[in-house]
């Protein structure tokens, strides 16, 4: 679908879909079978993700689904083009320092090579900040 194509859903219908989905989520009748109220209750106490993923905002590549991960298992930072910025750096540092995730992944599509290179370059320029984040 090109960026100039007309939306297939109008804003009012999109809002109704979101509200319906949230109602199903809150009531415990979400369409995803891994959704369990006890898991949500445990996550309300805190999170302990095993990986941090810097991912493109592309709606076709949701990290939770492609890695078959449940709620609270991944800390995901999504930004169009995987562009590295102070905000992204702050989120990565939060994941390392406060959540203590042991693994950091930059995930993107073939078309995002330049964004991945940019993120790797920025990370390489600031190793002390990220090493400090990971060590606490």
Q: In the chain, what percentage of residues exceed pLDDT 90?
A: 25
What pLDDT does residue 100 have? 92
47-62 pLDDT, tens digit per residue, is 999 999 999 888 888 8
pLDDT for residue 91 is more than 90 = yes
User: Which overall architecture, per CATH, does domain 46-135 show?
Assistant: 3-Layer(aba) Sandwich (3.40)
Share the mean pLDDT of the chain: 77
pLDDT band at 2 (very low <50, low <70, confident <90, very high): very low
Distance of CA 116 to the CA centre of its chain: 15
What pLDDT does residue 74 have? 93
Query: CA 67, 15, 1: angle at the middle one, nearest 5?
Result: 60
Other beta carbons within 10 Å of 96 = 22
- CA dihedral 3→65→47→14, nearest 10 degrees, is 40
Q: Are the beta carbons of 77 and 91 closer than 8 angstroms?
A: yes
pLDDT for residue 71 is more than 50 = yes
pTM: 0.65
């Amino acid at each position: 679908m090109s960026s100039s194509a007309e939306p297939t859903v109008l804003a009012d219908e999109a809002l109704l879909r979101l509200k319906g989905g949230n109602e199903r989520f809150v009531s415990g009748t979400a369409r995803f079978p891994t959704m369990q109220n006890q898991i949500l209750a445990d996550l309300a106490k805190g999170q302990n993700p095993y990986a941090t993923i810097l991912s493109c905002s592309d709606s076709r590549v949701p990290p939770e689904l492609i890695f078959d991960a449940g709620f609270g298992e991944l800390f995901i930072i999504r930004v169009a083009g995987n562009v590295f910025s102070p905000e992204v750096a702050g989120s990565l540092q939060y994941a390392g320092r406060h959540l203590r995730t042991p693994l950091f992944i930059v995930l993107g599509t073939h078309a995002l090579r330049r964004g991945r290179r940019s993120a790797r370059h920025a990370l390489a320029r600031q190793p002390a900040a990220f090493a400090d984040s990971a060590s606490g």
